Chains A and B, each alone.
Chain A
């Protein structure tokens, strides 16, 4: 459902993402892991149409993102790392606006809003202006907006930052449920425990390259001698990538200048 084919993004003479090859199928939840500046957000921005690959391509379903932006956007729901809400709208008004842009009819909008209100427990603040929301309320509203059209693909960038334990539980359960219902979920995160708990696969990026793509069990095989949690495996992998080859079969080299993402 999601396919990165040699997707590369450069910023001037710096490479933020280099020849990324990654696919995520229906019913899969893949966690994209990596240090700050590893290229996770750039990859996600290429997927949702906010950046164009310098080389290669990104596909959502049958559509190449940059060639069929509108079509690809219809299939995707996106929760960014810095979510946007209109301060002077209520959550209900915001959800209605987004739903109508996806082409839902008036009756479908009502049903969809009600469904997301119940799913993310928005009822208590649904008709208040979003300018008065806490971080958790905002994040739940953004999730609801991203899911209002029941997208085939859900892309989530750092979903748990600043959320309380109750919200984290809600989001984790939901993401797992969504993938289990046959949809595709790509989640970028720093929280390794969450990736370990809910992801079917983990994709690890380091210094703009994909250095691992597989299950946690496969990662254990890849990093022999390291036992324990995903955290220890991840740290071993990302500090030792100089001695490893990436999934593209190329030797990994650390960039002397880490990429600063815009």
Chain B
């Protein structure tokens, strides 16, 4: 009996071994994942062109517009630089262009490390797909590589969009030889691969060693990088105007940013590779520019391949244990209480019906407890605040009428930027509110409240919630630019109108075109309705700002410069400005009432 059991067990084991031996090789696994990716991409593209044509064309069109704009900017910039320092081979050319290139690529390099690491973290540790793959007989290193390729793509497309017009513009300006353009894609790809792989390895090590401190470590390093960058920029610009862009300033700045030109940095290899390839004239007889540039390309390629191997090795070694470590932490029990902010909001809304108050407080709580929403809000508005805090350079020239005119224009541009940022938030967070509510509509739908009050609640929440930070930002800009009281008041008025109009549009369109099948707010916002809301918002902001910026500008010019313009007599400027303000109000009424009224009608008839 024992012998027959043993024979049976051996037969089973050999059967298992046979099954295991048939598992795909590393290369075959790679092919299967590429096949999966191709099938998904094909399906995604087909879907995009079939169902989101407008959005797709809009994204392509805007990307082309952005690329061409950057190209022109870089072309003019390099044309100016070459005019000042000569063509490649000239004494100061390499120094100047290298300074620009290394600084630019160094900044992008750091961003790539962070973005690749963060995206990979989401892909490897917080993805249902990865959980699924980990239950299949797939090598851990393959899962890491599969996810890394994704993070590489998503983190580096911005780099290609920014760097390609710059490099092509430089090539054209300096009449670079053909091999400059032949090397270009390989230089860029191999460069982008290195910081992304470093970010990925750092991410794996961080989660493997200190999973509970991951956010603190990333936050601390990010803060450190921002502090160093801010301090460098501050010291560079903190100089008397007379010395700005002078020889001494340039030398000092060149020395200050020496750390960006370290010989061991991929950004330096890329910069040197580009400069060598762009050079047509050999320095001496044995000097071959294409060969010199090729050496840098080989350095970049070999380092990228080396890091690829290291990433696979580290991934195979520690990924699974780091995954276990992260998922074996104690679940945090979050106890929530009535926060002071909820009580304050309730008090501030004393004049509203009780049910509307409750709906708004509910939305405030959801917003507060969703870090995705408020963290993006803080990052974008924080960056704007940082920018506004640094625009006081105009103060030094307050006697110069052309500078004063610029101050006026910049103040309106700042207002438009605040509006545009707000429109991305209303599209991303306010527009999907009704669609998301639809899935839980049985809760609200069965309550003894008017459906209208749900929509009004969302409108009030959006307009009041957006007005406070936007007004603060516009005040900061105006204070730094020291605009006149009249312009200050006009800006605050326009800001209020923008907040009301953008919120009304987002809530109204959201109710008119709800998508109850989709659970992800970002996907709802990326649909047709969301794109329409974004486009209409941009048009509304531009019209509103133009309606007041133009008369304000002429009024300002007429009064400040004592120039009595022939085109518009000063007396008429008051009327023009007043008409502009009336136009702003009418426009705000239209963009608020029309979508809201249609949204209310659609919402009353809503069946989920």
Contacts and interface: CB of A to CB of B under 8 A. Distances in A.
B137 A84 contact: no
A193 interface: no
A241 interface: no
Interface string B110-138: 00000000000000000011011011111
A46 to B, nearest CB: 10
B132 A75 contact: no
Contacts, number: 105
Contacts of A51: 324, 327-328
B328 A52 contact: yes
B266 to A, nearest CB: 34
A101 B24 contact: yes
Interface stretch (A6-14, A173-181, A208-216): A6-14
B6 interface: no
A52 B324 contact: yes
A62 interface: yes
Contacts of A9: 328
A73 B320 CA distance: 14
Contacts of B138: 70, 101
Contacts of A242: none
A9 B330 CA distance: 11
Given A84-B131, A97-B32, A69 B320 contact: yes
Interface string A90-110: 000100011011111000000
Contacts of B324: 51-52
Contacts of B12: 61
A70 B20 contact: yes
Contact of A70 (B23, B32, B44, B327): B23
Nearest to B324: A52
A69 B20 CA distance: 11
Interface in B5-33: 12-13, 16, 19-20, 22-24, 29, 32
B35 A11 contact: no
Contacts of A224: none
Q: How large is the interface on B (under 10, 10 to 19, 20 to 34, 35 or more residues)?
A: 35 or more
A86 interface: yes
B135 A86 contact: no
B129 A97 contact: no
A12 B330 CA distance: 5
B4 interface: no
B527 to A, nearest CB: 13
B392 interface: no
Nearest to B21: A103
A50 B131 contact: yes
Contact of B331 (A10, A52, A100, A261): A261
Contacts of A50: 131, 134-135, 327
A84 B330 contact: no
B137 A48 contact: no
B474 to A, nearest CB: 41
B363 to A, nearest CB: 27
A49 to B, nearest CB: 6
A260 B329 CA distance: 11
Contacts of A225: none
B607 interface: no
Contacts of B23: 70, 74, 102-103
A101 B128 CA distance: 18
A124 interface: no
Interface string B122-163: 000000110110111111000000000000000000000000
Nearest to B42: A88
B39 interface: yes
A220 to B, nearest CB: 33
A231 interface: no
A260 B129 CA distance: 23
Interface in A1-43: 9-14
Interface string A40-80: 00000000111110100000011100000111011110101
A54 B328 CA distance: 9
Contact of B137 (A11, A13, A101): A101
Contact of B16 (A54, A71, A98, A149): A71
Interface string B317-351: 00011001001111101000000000000000000
Nearest to B12: A61
A129 interface: yes
Nearest to B43: A88
A166 interface: no
A165 interface: no
Nearest to A45: B327
A143 to B, nearest CB: 14
B16 A49 contact: no
Nearest to B137: A73
A262 interface: yes
B354 interface: no
Contact of A262 (B47, B139, B331): B331
A100 B328 contact: no
B47 A84 contact: no
A82 B129 CA distance: 11
A129 B43 contact: yes
Nearest to A77: B135
* Residue among B19, B36, B135, B321 with the highest chain A CB neighbour number at 10 A: B135
A152 B20 CA distance: 13
B43 A101 contact: no
Contacts of B36: 86, 89, 97
A86 B129 contact: yes
B16 A75 contact: yes
A76 B43 CA distance: 30
Contact of A11 (B22, B128, B331): B331
Nearest to A11: B330
B40 interface: yes
Contacts of A82: 128
Contacts of A13: 330
B330 A14 contact: yes
Contacts of A14: 330
Contact of B24 (A78, A89, A103, A152): A103
8 contacts: A76-B135, A78-B135, A80-B131, A84-B132, A86-B36, A93-B39, A101-B32, A101-B136
**CB-based closest 4 A-B pairs:** A12-B330, A103-B22, A88-B43, A84-B132
Interface of B: 12-13, 16, 19-20, 22-24, 29, 32, 35-36, 39-40, 43-44, 47, 128-129, 131-132, 134-139, 320-321, 324, 327-331, 333
